[in-house]
Amino acid sequence: MAMQELWKNKLRTFLSLFGITIGIFCIIGVLATVNSLEHNIQSEIKSLGTNTIYIDKWDYSAGGGPDYPWWKFIKRPEPKFDEIRQIKERTPNAKYVAFNINANDKIEYMDNTLSGVNLYGNSIEFQNIQPVDISFGRYITESEFDHASPVMVIGNEVAEKLFISADRAIGKTIQVRGKRAQVIGVIKKQGQGMIGGWQFDQSLIMPYKFARNIMYERNASPVILVQGQDNLTSVALKDQLKGSMRAIHKLSPTQDDDFSLNDINEFSEAVSKIFGPLNIGGWVIAGISLIVGMFGVANIMFVTVRERTSQIGLKKAIGAKNRVILAEFLLESAFLCIIGGLMGLLLVFILTKILSGLLHFPIFISTSNLVMAITICIVVGVLAGIIPAIKAARMDPVAAIRR
């Protein structure tokens, strides 16, 4: 009967359902976009290392605006490679400890020069904390780390720009700041990130002991990465690391920390807090539209009840109970709202395809959002049709037939 109503009065029903369509489009569109954006950023944060603490002289959570206390952090000592051994000895909760130095410079191959390449010098356990997938060749071996071998693995974008095809890079010799090193592997393509991160596509990785011959370590942003044991919270790891670092730096109880312990999990929680208000904003916008749409559906249900008054009277005269009439109109109202919601979901699907093409990450509609959209449609349909349905159920059969 709902489909017959829709088919007989196409324009009237469409205009009544348009509010529901726009409401579902707004709420699911906003949630899909925000959830996809948050999922992408959270994935990038997790790629920095799960359950990992970055030991640096800089505090990452303090931001970098005009209020950032540069004077406080710049006086701190830089992390040192020799501190890795002491951290392992003093921190039983540490599973892996790695050292990293980095710079940004040009590299050369024959007559080709590529600028803006991230140069990373890592210790051996970096691969355990931050896995690097290799598409061609292999990763650096333990022996090559220990003997400062002049070898490197390069990013996919670097390989394609220097050698046209990534698989051609293996065995080639690249010059970096006057030093030559052989390419032994190409990193699997990562894609462009939104928050920076390691950006392996535009990078090359070398053994730390070789990299320190071409980088001045104090000016190469040294950082120590510590990953905790399995099933250990980052809070527990951070507490133990604080004691270890204070002992390593020989700080007295009255002295402030001269290092920062930057927890990756704290970044993830901060991102979640940022996206909370965006979701609330989407709900508010969609709520207003859904209220307008609910009045539209209520209006069409009042008209439907009026048009079927004689049918209602006839049904009640032959034994239909009030609850049957009530359920009939509530089901019809909910069904009409579901149709409007499906139209809204169709528009959201088109939106996701457009945005996925424009942005650097996929926009998707989660199953939970689909279920929520249908649930909202049913609830709105019941609320919109409850008064017309009650009015229809309470009709006197004799009066209804005569009307």
Closest to 135 (Cα-Cα) out of 71, 189, 61, 54: 189
**Mean pLDDT confidence for 215-225:** 89
Q: Report the pLDDT value the prediction gives residue 65, as an integer from 0 to 100.
A: 58
Please give the single-letter amino acid code of residue 356. Answer: S
- Confidence (pTM): 0.69
Residue 282 has pLDDT above 80, yes or no: no
Q: Report the pLDDT value the prediction gives residue 205, as an integer from 0 to 100.
A: 94
Q: For residue 271, what are the CA distances in angstroms to 80, 83, 98, 213?
A: 30, 31, 26, 38
Residue 339 has pLDDT above 70, yes or no: yes
- List pLDDT tens digits, range 158-183: 999 998 888 889 999 999 998 999 99
Q: Report the pLDDT value the prediction gives residue 2, as an integer from 0 to 100.
A: 64
Residue 301 in contact with residue 329, Cβ under 8 Å? yes
Q: For residue 235, what are the CA distances in angstroms to 51, 85, 128?
A: 9, 22, 20
**Mean pLDDT confidence for 371-397:** 88
Residue 162 in contact with residue 114, Cβ under 8 Å? yes
What residue ranges do the domains of the chain occupy? 2-43+272-402, 77-258
Band of the pLDDT at 266, cuts 50, 70, 90?
confident
Rounded Cα gap, residues 323 and 346, in angstroms: 34
Q: Which residues contact 283 (CB under 8 A, 6 or more apart)?
A: 27
Residues 331, 332, 334: CA angle, nearest 5 degrees: 65
Both tokens of 295, joined, read 């009045």
Residue 51 has pLDDT above 70, yes or no: yes
Q: Report the pLDDT value the prediction gives residue 337, as an integer from 0 to 100.
A: 87
**Mean pLDDT confidence for 353-381:** 84
